[in-house]
Amino acid sequence: MSGHSKWATTKHKKAAIDAKRGKLFAKLIKNIEVAARTGGGDLAGNPTLFDAVQKAKKSSVPNDNIDRAVKRGSGEGADAVDYQTIMYEGYGTNGVAVLVECLTDNRNRAASEVRLAFSRNGGSLADPGSVSYLFSRKGLVVVPKSDGVGEDEVMMAALEAGADEVTDEGDTIEVLCEATDLVAVRKAIQEAGIDYDSADVIFHPSMEVEVDAEGARKILRLIDALEDSDDVQNVYANFDASDEVMAELEND
């Protein structure tokens, strides 16, 4: 799909030995709390919560932590926090558009950290609406490749349920669909007996900016700096980098 997608796959492989694993856990737990608060704590009746829990389990978040997060979000926990969703828009080097999705209990802190990450990494914040029109809401299901599960098998399961695009990304198969079709596509994949890593509603770029190795290094430094903030949940950027460029970066 995009250079950022390939980079996310690369980072995913390293997650087990990543020193930032605690940050990843915290963000996954926050997702569970918000999903439970929005749609209730019953996984069977709350597909967003189901997917948030599945993603946390796939990332080895302990079950006790997951259960406590569900209880906090659904109002059973005494230490519940009210998170707000805030979107920031900006530009990286080479005119790459960047969307930053925050879940925070402190708007001022979130704004300050996002602004600092942009200014320190050659980017700039933009007015609301100046970047978001370059993205659309889509559903994304990520399926790990395994014996007997490849692009063809996933495509057969997903297309009838409403998938728009099935792409081989190396170690994973990525299924893109309309955001409203995400649950149906995910269920169709499950019912075909295929395991999946994650199912999320994302912001997908409608057009992409091709970058060379140096441009990719700069935008990825910005993305890493943004993701380092506890308030930042997701970062989306409309850059594309060739396999050769991404391979060069992996050797850095």
The residues spanned by each domain of the chain are: 3-73, 84-133+207-250, 135-205
Q: Residue 140: its pLDDT value, please?
A: 94
The CATH architecture assigned to 3-73 reads: Orthogonal Bundle (1.10)
Same fold, 3-73 and 84-133+207-250: no
* CATH code for the part of the protein at 135-205: 3.30.70.980
What gap in Å lies between CA 159 and CA 111, rounded to an integer? 40
Q: Residue 88: its pLDDT value, please?
A: 97
Contact 158, 175 (CB under 8 A): yes
Q: Residue 17: its pLDDT value, please?
A: 47
Query: What does each of the 252 residues of the chain score in pLDDT, given as a tens digit?
Result: 344 555 554 554 454 445 566 788 889 999 999 999 889 899 999 999 999 999 999 888 999 999 999 998 888 766 666 788 999 999 998 899 999 999 998 999 999 999 999 999 999 999 999 999 999 999 999 999 887 888 889 999 999 899 999 998 888 899 999 999 999 999 999 999 999 989 999 999 999 999 998 998 999 899 989 988 999 999 999 998 888 887 787 776
CATH class for the domain made up of 84-133+207-250: alpha beta
Q: Residue 199: its pLDDT value, please?
A: 92
Residue 200's beta-bridge partner residues?
Answer: 140
